[in-house]
Amino acid sequence: MEKIKFNTLARHIYEEERKYPEATGELSDLLHDLSLAAKVISLEVNKAGLVDILGFTGNHNIHGEDVKKLDVFAHEMMIKAMDHGGHLCVMASEEDEDIIHIPPSFSIGKYVLLFDPLDGSSNIDANVSIGTIFSIYRRVSKGDGPGTIEDCIQQGIKQVAAGYIIYGSSTIFVYTAGKGVYGFTLDPSFGEFILSHPNIKTPKKSRIYSINEGNYLYWHPGLKKYIKWLQEEDKSTGRPYSSRYIGSMVADIHRNLLYGGIFMYPADSRNPNGKLRLMYECNPMSFIVEQAGGRSSNGKQRLLEVKPESLHQRTPIFIGSEEDVLLLEKFIKEYEPAAEK
């Protein structure tokens, strides 16, 4: 096992920046500010379970402060950490129908930040791992005034950076800026993210599949055939695969990223576009997985090439080990219902 050099996220970000003379340092500052938000959200998520035990009652804690729903807290914390750095022209969040403008008192920058502040938060009471997901673009609208919706609905291939923070048995900050994928584990004793996963590469083929099989009845016929194929016995192709599904996208994809696996949230006859959001869930996770050598698709095309139409649009997603996603796409194509051919 290669010895991992002792390095902090902050130091890693600046070392990476210095490799590219054209870098202005703005992206480094953004990532640094995101890591600050991550530390505060991690603290809150990890004490959430204690809210009832410590006598925090209703909406106010013993200090008389508002006790907010965690996803609202995370949403507000991301804005508070990111709105004044001078590097963003606009933001957008899963928690806000509209785009989020930079307050007039703060200067405007050339980047765009999209985020899901706390994905999977419905799982928090069961102490299931949840996560923050972020996606960074350059502005495309003209001028240097406030950003627009046009800046917020760009194809995933235009991302300059993306990442997630998983709040689990430990808090891990995983990101890519297009030059590989790196993971940093928070040491809460001195509040630093320490390099723990240098240059993550996901296995080309796996033995894990992740999907909510409760929706089987409503699936595309090709997906039904694929899942049944995975469950057959054939040692030469490592079948049957193991089913692993946490029901928390960041946790499921993080595990599959490290171990190999295919995560699927398909469209079905009840939800024609699936459930997960393109702009601030599927695109950032797809950028990360592709940078780690994996593949991400909506079943028919590379997910990062999907042309967005709206900020909160949903998309089917099949993401993970390259060979597994390619095979899934073959099943979908082969068993396409006649009407859709």
Cα–Cα distances (Å) from 156 to 42, 78, 79, 160, 220, in that order, read: 27, 21, 22, 9, 25
CA distance linking residue 123 with residue 112, whole number of Å: 29
DSSP H helices in the chain: 9-18, 26-48, 50-53, 70-82, 149-152, 221-230, 249-259, 283-291, 322-334
By CB under 6 A, tell whether 248 contacts ligand P6P: yes
- Residue 253 CB, nearest distance to ligand P6P (Å)? 8
Q: Does 247 bind ligand P6P (CB under 6 A)?
A: yes
* CB of 111 or CB of 318, closer to ligand P6P: 318
Smallest distance, ligand P6P to C-beta of residue 275, A? 6
Please choose, from the candidates 109, 95, 178, 93, the residue with its C-alpha nearest in 3D space to the C-alpha of residue 141.
109
Q: Which residue number, 65 or 213, has a Cβ lying nearer to ligand P6P? A: 213
Q: How many residues bind ligand P6P (CB under 6 A)?
A: 10
Q: How far is the CB of 217 from ligand P6P (least distance, A)?
A: 14
- CB nearer to ligand P6P: give 212 or 301: 212
In the window 101-140, what residues touch ligand P6P (CB under 6 A)?
Answer: 119-120, 122
Cβ neighbours of residue 328 closer than 8 Å, sequence gap 6 or more:
223, 226, 262, 264, 297, 299, 318
Q: Which two tokens stand for residue 221?
A: 């016929």
Query: Based on the number of CB atoms within 10 Å of its own CB, is 167 exposed (0-12), middle (13-18) or buried (19 or more)?
Result: buried
End-to-end CA distance of the chain: 48
**If binding is defined by CB under 6 A, does position 275 make contact with ligand P6P?**
yes
244 vs 275, beta carbon nearer ligand P6P: 275
Compute the least distance from the CB of residue 122 to ligand P6P, in Å: 5
Q: Kindly write out the interface string for residues 182-201 of this chain, putting x where it contacts ligand P6P by CB under 6 A and - elsewhere.
A: --------------------
Closest CB to ligand P6P among 226 and 265?
A: 265
Q: Token digits for 10?
A: 């902050």
> Whose Cβ is closer to ligand P6P: residue 30's or residue 48's?
48
Nearer to ligand P6P, 152 or 285 (CB): 285
Count the Cβ atoms, other than its own, within 10 Å of residue 56.
Answer: 17
Comparing CB distances to ligand P6P, the nearer of 137 and 265 is 265
**Which of these, 45, 15, 251, lies nearest to 133 by C-alpha position?**
251
Q: Which residue has the tokens 């996770």?
A: 285
Alpha carbons 132 and 134: distance in angstroms, whole number: 7
274 binds ligand P6P (CB under 6 A): no
78 forms part of the interface with ligand P6P (CB under 6 A): no
Q: Is 243 in the site for ligand P6P (CB under 6 A)?
A: no
Q: Is 320 in the site for ligand P6P (CB under 6 A)?
A: no
Interface pick for ligand P6P out of 57, 107, 212, 310 (rule CB under 6 A): 212
Task: Give the interface with ligand P6P as residue ranges (CB under 6 A).
Answer: 119-120, 122, 212, 247-249, 252, 265, 275
